[in-house]
Amino acid sequence: MNVVSLVLQAGLRDLSRNRWIVAYTLCFLGIAEGLFWFGGTGPQVLLSLLNLVLLVLPLVALVFGTIHVYASREFVELLLAQPVPRRQLFTGLYLGLALPLAGAFVLGAGIPFAVHAREGASLGGVVALLCAGVGLSLAFAAIATWIALRTDDRLKGIGLALGAWLAATVVYDGLVLGAAAAFGNYPLERPLLALMLANPVDVARVLVLTQLDVSALMGYTGALFERTFGTVLGTGVAAAALIIWCAVPLGLAERRFTRRDF
C-alpha cells in the first residue's frame, strides 16, 4: 500500500474516534433535525443551515485544524524519520485531517435532509449546500495546516487562525459592503463579483445562492448577473473558485511542509 493511503487511514481511524469530531457531527445532526422537528420546511432549514455553514465550518476547520497539526508534530517527526517521501506524507496527513472534517459535516447535515427528503428542499439546493460545506472544510483545513506549518509558536498560530476566521467571515464582507457604498456611482458588478471570488466563504455562499436565490440575483439590473446567474455558468464558476480555494492554500502548505526544517 502506498504512503498516502496508509497515513490517511491512520488519520481517519484516529479522528473518527476523536470526541470533538463526533460532537461536531452530532451537533449538525441535532441542529438540522431540530429545525425540521420544530416545523421547518426544507427550504427554511436549508437557509438556516447556510448561515451555520458559513460561520461554523471555517471556525472549526481553522481552530481544530491548527491544534491538530500542532498536536501531531512529534508523530509527524517520527514518520518523517521513516524512508518515505515528504510529499506523500503531507498528502496523507492533510487528507487525514480534512476528510474527517468534511465527512462529519456531510453526515451531520446530510442525513436529516435524506430523512426529510419530502419536505420541499430542492435537490440542487441541498447538493449545493453540502458541496459548499465540503469545499469550506477542505479549504480551511488547508489554510489551518499552512498556518500551523508556518508558525511554530502555537499560541500565535491559533491567534492567526482566529484572525483568518474573523477576516473571512465578517470583516471582508464589511469592507465589500463599505466599498459598494463608497463607490456606488461606478459600475460595480464586475469588481464586486471578482471580490466575491477572492474569499472562500463568499464563494461558498454564492455557490448556494446560485441554487437558492436565482430569482433574487436575476432581479439585479445588469447583463453580467443575468449571463452569470441565469445559466449554470454561475454555479460552475463558484464551484471552480472553491476548488481553487482548496488548491492554493494546500499548495502553499505542501511547499512549506516539504521544504521546512522540523
Partner 1 sequence: MLLALALAQPTARNADLTVGAGGRFSTITAALAAAKPGDRVLVRAGTYREPTIVVRTERLTLEGEGWPVLDGQGAREVLVIAADDVTVRGIVARNTGVSNLEDRAGIRARSVRNCVIEGNRLRDNLWGIYLQQSADCIVRDNDIEAHGVRQTESGNGIHLWYSPGARVERNHVRGQRDGIYFEFSPHGVTRDNVSERSQRYGLHFMFSDSCRYEHNIFRDNTSGVAVMYSRGVVITANRFERSWGSAAYGLLLKDIMGGEISNNTFDRNSTGLFVEGSSRLDVRGNVFSQNGWAAKVLADADENRFSGNQFTGNAFDVTTNSRSANSTFDGNWWDEYAGYDLNRDGVGDTAFHPVRLFALVVEEHPAALLLLRSPLVSILDAAERVLPVLTPEALVDRHPLMRPPR
Partner 2 sequence: MITLDTIRKRFGALEVLQDVSLAVRPGAVTALVGPNGSGKTTLIKIVLGLTRADHGALHVDGKLADDAGAYRRAIGYMPQAAHFPVNLRVGDVLDLVSQLRPGERIDDDLARAFAMDEVKDKLVGTLSGGTRQKVNAVIAFMFRPSLLILDEPTAGLDPLSSNVLKEKIRAVRGEGRSVLVTSHIMAELESLADDVAFLCDGRLRFSGSVAELLGHTGGSSLEDAIASLMRTERSVRRSVGELPGPVVAPPWFAPQPKGAI
- Asked if 45 and 132 count as a contact pair (C-beta separation under 8 A), the reply is no
Q: Does position 231 bind partner 1 by CB under 8 A?
A: no
Q: Does position 215 bind partner 1 by CB under 8 A?
A: yes
Least gap, CB of 256 to partner 2 (angstroms): 14
Q: Does position 54 bind partner 2 by CB under 8 A?
A: no
Compare residues 9 and 44 and give the one whose CB is closer to partner 2. Answer: 9
- Asked if 65 and 140 count as a contact pair (C-beta separation under 8 A), the reply is yes
Q: Which listed residue (38, 39, 83, 223) binds partner 2 by CB under 8 A?
A: 83
- How far apart CA 64 and CA 66 sit, in angstroms, is 6
Choose from partner 1, partner 2, none: what does 216 bind? Cβ within 5-8 Å by kind.
partner 1
What is the CA 162 to chain-centroid distance, rounded? 15
Give the list of residues 6+ apart from residue 43 with CB closer than 8 angstroms, or none: 120, 121, 122, 125, 212
Q: Does position 15 bind partner 2 by CB under 8 A?
A: yes
Q: Which listed residue (218, 232, 240, 247) binds partner 1 by CB under 8 A?
A: 218
Q: If DSSP codes are grouped into helix, strand and coil, which group holds residue 47?
A: helix
Q: Does position 208 bind partner 1 by CB under 8 A?
A: yes
Choose from partner 1, partner 2, none: what does 86 bind? Cβ within 5-8 Å by kind.
partner 2
- Asked if 207 and 233 count as a contact pair (C-beta separation under 8 A), the reply is no
Q: Quick count: other Cβ atoms within 10 Å of Cβ 179?
A: 14
Q: Does position 72 bind partner 2 by CB under 8 A?
A: yes
- How far apart CA 162 and CA 155 sit, in angstroms, is 11
- Asked if 125 and 50 count as a contact pair (C-beta separation under 8 A), the reply is no
- How far apart CA 76 and CA 66 sit, in angstroms, is 14
Q: Does position 33 bind partner 1 by CB under 8 A?
A: no
Compare residues 14 and 173 and give the one whose CB is closer to partner 2. Answer: 14
- Asked if 246 and 255 count as a contact pair (C-beta separation under 8 A), the reply is no
Q: Which residues of this chain interact with partner 2, rule CB under 8 A?
A: 1, 3, 6-7, 10-11, 13-18, 71-75, 77-86, 261-262
Q: Which residues of this chain interact with partner 1, rule CB under 8 A?
A: 39, 41, 43-44, 47, 50-51, 54-55, 169-170, 173-174, 176-177, 180-181, 184, 188-189, 192-193, 196, 202, 205-206, 208-209, 212-222, 226, 230
